[in-house]
Structure 1
Amino acid sequence: MNDAGGAVDEVARALNVADALGKADKLDDIALGLKELDMEHYDDEDEGVEVFSSRIGDLYYPSNDLDPYIKDKNDDDSEELEDMIINPTDSVVVCARTEDDFSLLEVHILEDVGTSEMNMYVHHDIIIPTFSLSTAWLDCLQGREKGNFLAVGSMEPSIEIWDLDVIDVVQPCMVLGGILEKKKKGKKKSIKYKDDSHTDSVLGLAWNKALRNVLASASADKRVKIWDVATGKCESTMEHQSDKVLAVAWHHHEREILLSGSFDHTVVLRDGRMPSHPGYKWSITADVESLAWDPHTYPYFVVSLEDGTIKCFDVRTAKSESTSDLSSTFTLHAHDKVVTSVSYNVSAPNLLATGSMDKMVKL
Structure 2
Amino acid sequence: MGDVVTMGAKFLESEADVKSLRVDPARPLFSAEHDEILAGHTADVYFVKTLQVLRAEGKADVPVVAEIFPRSEGMLAGVEEALRLLQNRPPGLGAIEVWAMDEGEWFSPKEVVMRIAGPYSAFGVYETAILGILAQSSGWATAARRVVEAAGGKPVSSFGARHVHPAVAPVMERAALLAGASGAACILAAKLQGKEPVGTVPHALMLILGDTVSGALAYHHHTAPDSPRIILVDTYKDEAEESLRVAEVLGKALEGVRLDTPGERGGVTPDLVAEVRARLDQAGYRHVKILVSGGLTPERVQQLAAAGADAFGVGSYISSAPPLDMTLDLKMVEGKPVAKRGRIPGIQANPRLRLRIDGRNRVA
Instruction: Place the TM-score, normalised by the shorter chain, in its bin.
Output: under 0.3
Scaled by the length of structure 1, the TM-score of the pair is 0.22
The structure with more radius of gyration = 1
More helix as a share of residues: 2
More strand as a share of residues: 1
Scaled by the length of structure 2, the TM-score of the pair is 0.22
Relative contact order (alpha carbons < 8 A, sep ≥ 6): 1 or 2 greater? 2
